Structure 1
Amino acid sequence: MTLAMELLCQTHSDIKTIITDLELPVCDWDDKWIDVYLDNSVKLLDICIAFSSELSRFNQGNLLLQCALHNLTACPSKQLVRACSSLDGWRQHIGSKNPKLQNCFAILNSLTETLSLPKVKNAKGKVLMRAMYGVKVLTVFVCSIFAAAFSSSANKLVDLQVVETCLWAEAFENVQAYVNGEIRNIFSSGRTTVVKELEAVQLSVKTLYPAIQEGVDPKEAEALQNSISELGKRADRFSQGLDLLTKEVDGFFQIVLTGRDALLSSLRVGSSGPDTANNVQGQGVRQIQ
């Protein structure tokens, strides 16, 4: 997931380079292109906020794990009740739903419905539209996978139909079919998450929780310590993964935000009069709202 988000960041950075290389001034852009770009950028910012919220929720859950591990490591025989309470709190926290994620599916549906390759006569405009179309396809694909992974459901996975004239259409559809198929297989098999680090922690908690509930049997003390140690290692790996992914999601948010700001700034600079400038500013405010 970290590498996928890193790719998305790089792709959105590349589109800025393409726009610069084309030397196609913003004042020459069709108004519809600008409207679509501004609308899409707001939706992507909303998606990033939802993903950041979920990652923050996972990190909050990790605090409960660390509390349980501290009690068990310090003196397991005296802190079993507290450890049980923390582990139970973690299970409930992880099993709860994040309402902000539900909005992601509506946004992704909206982006999918507007996914089209407009017909453009201008040569540079045609190159720009094809590039932006490809970026949008990749963005919806990756964000759809993230939404499915975070919500623990494959019901809302998006299966995109790409314009056949794109040279990369077949390759993309093959990757999409494979990845979406794997995710659907995971959930249909009864597993509750596609995030391997989270699943590893869940398995450790599932083993450890009933063991400490029943009390520490001196004969099984060593096995219990091994389980505690294993949970600690898995929790650390999960936490490290969250930190890396959070960094990439924040980076994607900044790339989208700066790209949007740059476009609005160019429109203001290129406006021919105060009325045009006011219209541009009004448009920006409406899109953000």
Structure 2
Amino acid sequence: MSLPQDQHRPFFPFGNPFRMVLPKGPHLSPWLHELLNTFEETLAERLRKLKPKDREDVLSLSWMRFAMESLCDTHTDIKVLITALELPVSNWDEKWIDVYLDNSVKLLDICIAFSSELSRLNQGHLILQCVLHNLDCHTPKQFVRARASLDGWRQHINSKNPRLENFSSIIDNLTETLNHPKVKTSAKGKVLMRAMYGVKVVTLFVCSIFLAAFSGSAKKLMDFQVLEVCLWAEAFTELQAFVNSGIRNVFSTGSVAVLRELEYVDIIVNKLYPMIQNGVGPVEAEAFQNSISDLGKRSEKLSQGLDVLAKEVDGFFRIVLTGRDALLCNLRVGSNVSDPIAETNNVKDQVVR
């Protein structure tokens, strides 16, 4: 499948994955072909379902929850595939194991950063509750407090989360591992490597979307050129083009709040602020009350959306952690691998802080 040297080679941001996905070696049996095709067809269908009907839904918390849920299902599927392959850990190339363990730690770090940011955003709900409480009193003193709370909410939402500072470099490091080290592999190993390639691409795609949403920068988005031989390639390419273009369009409008539910709250806050600052006359009274009511509903919906997404992120964390622990347990049975359980437990404890 190599190209003549005088032709333009396709660009892969992570190197040439052909040697990883299509390594030389034993041909696949019909059973292995069916196993791989079932995995890839399921992944393709999941990607098609993930494509939102409207570009405006891309950065909504409901769609992000669906994306994380889909990612959890994909990682569960790879566990099922590994079990079906009955490929003993003793047969895994040592380089595979090293890369897997390193990648799993990075994914756990990403989950911790996600959870931290979702928790930080949800703390803004308490500030908005203070705003609503003060506005119920209809006194000048309480209006001043409400305005101060709105100022606090704006500062809180626009502040940066230090846990996200190293996020981009972690994703870059994971992207580099798509180009696996060249290893000798069996027919079962070929199936595992190709399936893992799909899992990694989808994982990095979803993580880059979350990074763009949380960092407020479309520069964090990644555009993957994947191998057409994979049965999920077409569905992934269509999804990536639709989602990434939608996100870049959101950023091009100059919106301060990228998350859809957060943007709705910000719009209402911008309506309320001048009313609180300048006072509310008889003409504006009805509009003022409607805005207060809308703020209560929108802030509650935002908080609920953040809670649900946080649960999905925690679920993904546990899937990665249990998969890592299972591999480590198998390694300890047949080797002198040191016990790293304390390390993974420490990571698990951090996710709730």
Q: TM-score range by the shorter chain?
A: over 0.9
* Range that drifts further, 161-170 or 254-263: 161-170
Superposition map of 1:1-289 within 5 A: 1-75=64-138, 77-116=140-179, 121-271=185-335, 276-278=336-338, 281=339
1:112/1:160 contact within 8 Å kept: no
Deviation, 1:212, is 0.5
Structure 2: gaps spanning 5 or more residues: 1-63, 348-353
Q: TM-score, normalised by structure 2?
A: 0.76
SS of 2:337's equivalent in the other structure is helix
1:154/1:187 contact within 8 Å kept: yes
Corresponding letter in the other structure for 1:202: D
Q: Which residue of 1 aligns with 2:58?
A: none
2:257/2:266 contact within 8 Å kept: no
SS of 1:218's equivalent in the other structure is coil
The separation in 1 between residues aligned to 2:108 and 2:189, in whole angstroms, is 25
The aligned length equals: 282
Q: Aligned in 2, Cα 1:213/1:170: closer, same or farther, shift over 3 Å? A: same
Deviation, 1:222, is 1.7
Q: Aligned in 2, Cα 1:269/1:119: closer, same or farther, shift over 3 Å? A: closer
Q: Which residue of 1 aligns with 2:32?
A: none
Corresponding letter in the other structure for 1:277: V
Deviation, 1:235, is 0.5
Q: Aligned in 2, Cα 1:282/1:62: closer, same or farther, shift over 3 Å? A: closer
Deviations 1:3-25 (A, max 9, x none): 00001111111111111111111
Deviation, 1:119, is 6.2
SS of 1:79's equivalent in the other structure is helix
Deviation, 1:74, is 3.6
2:93/2:183 contact within 8 Å kept: no
The separation in 1 between residues aligned to 2:77 and 2:232, in whole angstroms, is 17
Corresponding letter in the other structure for 2:186: N
2:325/2:341 contact within 8 Å kept: no
The separation in 2 between residues aligned to 1:283 and 1:116, in whole angstroms, is 28
Deviations 1:108-163 (A, max 9, x none): 11111221366654111111111111111110000000010111110111111212
Structure 1: gaps spanning 5 or more residues: none
Flag the structure with higher helix content.
1
Aligned residues with identical type, % of pairs:
67
**RMSD, aligned α-carbons:** 2.0
* Range that drifts further, 226-235 or 216-225: 216-225
* Range that drifts further, 50-59 or 188-197: 188-197
Deviation, 1:171, is 2.2
1:154/1:184 contact within 8 Å kept: yes
Q: Which residue of 1 aligns with 2:4?
A: none
Of structures 1 and 2, the one scoring higher in RCO (CA 8 A, sep 6+) is 2
The separation in 2 between residues aligned to 1:127 and 1:48, in whole angstroms, is 27
The separation in 2 between residues aligned to 1:15 and 1:66, in whole angstroms, is 43
